[in-house]
Amino acid sequence: MNSVTVRVPAKVNLQLAVGPLRDDGYHDLVNVFHAVSIFDEVTATAKTGMSVRVEGESADQVPEGHENLAIKAALALAGHAGRSYGVNLLIRKAIPVAGGMAGGSADAAATLVACNELWGLGLPLEDLMEIAADLGSDVPFALLGGTAVGTGRGERLTPLDVAGTFHWVFALADGGLSTATVYAECDRIRQATGERVAWPQAAEPLLAALREGDAETLGTELRNDLQPAAVMLRGSLARTLDAGREHGALGSLVSGSGPTCAFLARSESHAGELAASLKDAGVARDVITAHGPVPGPIIV
């Protein structure tokens, strides 16, 4: 086999609870991850050495050297196998870059699956999950897909059973937001307001709404503790979120560290209408519809 292509979805956080700042500079998190039908594709082709090329959505903002998370994933997998394998990676991006939808993590997960196949390693998912956890806190979920609760730094995952399909609209913004900057702003706001930060916990009504396929309740339970920080750093997001509510979204929130905003619709047709209204309102660079949950990386 000379070449393997893997399709991998983006994620939105339905709940992102951020605990107090720890001494090591990280936060304990509770993350309800949900994989949605916006896909990057990674093609791994056998060659000597390691290289990566990026095409598509905001490709010019993605590094093509060894800082690319996909290359880091290929190197980590080769290291785990104890061999100096080579690969060329072609990433076709549709997931917004630095958009709070874990595009880099998705590409890393897709690369682990593609290279595991290309190099004939046959490693089980548990081994790939261990390598994924070392690459970044969103990479293990990107390998799993579906809907799951993540704790710790996001890497301890419990898959959730979800009834049916939820329909989403995503408003893409111009330019990204750095995840580290958004966490730092969150800490700054909390310090300035003297807010007592509770230990993060998954919200039971949100989990019940997912189990029951209850979009109406899910819409009211969407919660992102990073949202005030993302809105503080990018004031225009307040208008984008308001526009979603005005046009009948069941709920809205900033996705992860932003600046992408997610809106929950009643149905596929409602998602189409809501997307058209948001486009007309001119509150986003682009507006796309998607559904979730969807499975994790798939060899195509």
Residues annotated within the binding site for ATP are 96-106
3-class secondary-structure state, position 238: helix
Instruction: State how far the Cα of 73 lies from the Cα of 67, in Å rounded to an integer.
Output: 10
11 is catalytic: yes
Instruction: State how far the Cα of 19 lies from the Cα of 16, in Å rounded to an integer.
Output: 10
Of the pair 90, 281, the CB lying nearest ligand ATP is at 90
Of the pair 105, 224, the CB lying nearest ligand ATP is at 105
**Host H or E run for residue 20:** strand 3-21
- 82, exposed or middle or buried, with CB in 10 Å at 0-12, 13-18, 19+? exposed
Residue 154 in contact with ligand ATP, rule: CB under 6 A: no
Residue 12 in contact with ligand ATP, rule: CB under 6 A: no
Cβ-closest residue to ligand ATP? 104
Shortest CB 98 distance to ligand ATP, Å: 4
Query: Binder to ligand ATP among 18, 101, 249, 265 (CB under 6 A)?
Result: 101
Considering only residues 181-210, where is the footprint of ligand ATP by CB under 6 A? Answer: none
Which one of 20-28, 100-108, 228-236, 278-286 is the stretch in contact with ligand ATP (CB under 6 A)? 100-108
Which one of 97-105, 117-125, 214-222, 261-269 is the stretch in contact with ligand ATP (CB under 6 A)? 97-105
> What DSSP string describes 91-112?
EEE-SPTTSSS-HHHHHHHHHH
**Host H or E run for residue 245:** helix 236-246
Closest CA to 202 of 236, 182, 225: 225
Residue 226 in contact with ligand ATP, rule: CB under 6 A: no
Residue 259 in contact with ligand ATP, rule: CB under 6 A: no
Q: Which residue has the tokens 């593609």?
A: 114
Of the pair 41, 277, the CB lying nearest ligand ATP is at 41
138 is catalytic: yes
Query: Binder to ligand ATP among 146, 150, 200, 256 (CB under 6 A)?
Result: 256
Measure Cα distances from 177 to 50, 190, 227, 241, 278 in Å: 28, 19, 12, 17, 21
Of the pair 247, 296, the CB lying nearest ligand ATP is at 296
3-class secondary-structure state, position 221: helix
Closest CA to 210 of 282, 99, 292, 153: 292
Residue 62 in contact with ligand ATP, rule: CB under 6 A: yes
Give the number of residues in contact with ligand ATP, rule: CB under 6 A: 23
Beta strands in 74-230 (DSSP E): 87-93, 147-152, 156-159, 166-172, 223-224
Q: Which residue is catalytic, options 40, 107, 138, 225?
A: 138
Of the pair 68, 289, the CB lying nearest ligand ATP is at 68
Please give the residue ranges that form the binding site for ligand ATP (CB under 6 A). 61-63, 67-70, 91, 97-105, 107, 138, 176, 179, 256-257
Please list the active-site residues: 11, 138
